């Protein structure tokens, strides 16, 4: 497991980048998980989660 952090201000594109990376890695047969602050979890919809077998966990306040 390799832990990768994506930081930045709200709206800077953290979720978009992680989604893109997840999709690219998934197409190479790599699995991924995300620990996301509570403001970002809504961007990981069920269709995307299922399509890429993504594990999502939310950290409150973090």
Partner 1 sequence: MGCSLASSLVDLKKELKRSHDPDFLFIEPSEMVVTQELRDVTAMGLRDIRYDIGPFITLVDGPLFEFLWSERRALLLGQVKNADLVAVSRADSIDVGELNKVQQALAGYCSKVIPLSVRSGDGLAEVVKRVCGEV
Q: Is 8 in the site for partner 1 (CB under 8 A)?
A: yes
CA 35/CA 37 separation, integer angstroms: 7
Instruction: Output 7 or 47, the one with its CB closest to partner 1.
Output: 7
Least distance in angstroms from the C-beta of 36 to partner 1: 4
- The two tokens of residue 13 are 């594109």
Task: Name which of residues 15 to 44 contact partner 1 (CB under 8 A).
Answer: 15-18, 20-22, 24-25, 30-37, 39-40
CA 40 – CA 37 distance, rounded (Å): 6
For the chain, the first-to-last Cα distance in angstroms comes to 21
To partner 1, the closest distance from the beta carbon of 47 in angstroms equals 18
């Amino acid at each position: 497991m390799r832990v990768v952090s994506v930081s930045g201000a709200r709206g800077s594109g953290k979720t978009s980048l992680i989604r893109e990376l997840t999709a690219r890695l998934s197409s190479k047969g790599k699995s991924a998980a995300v620990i996301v602050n509570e403001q970002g979890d809504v961007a990981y919809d069920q269709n995307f989660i299922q399509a890429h077998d993504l594990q999502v966990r939310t950290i409150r306040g973090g």
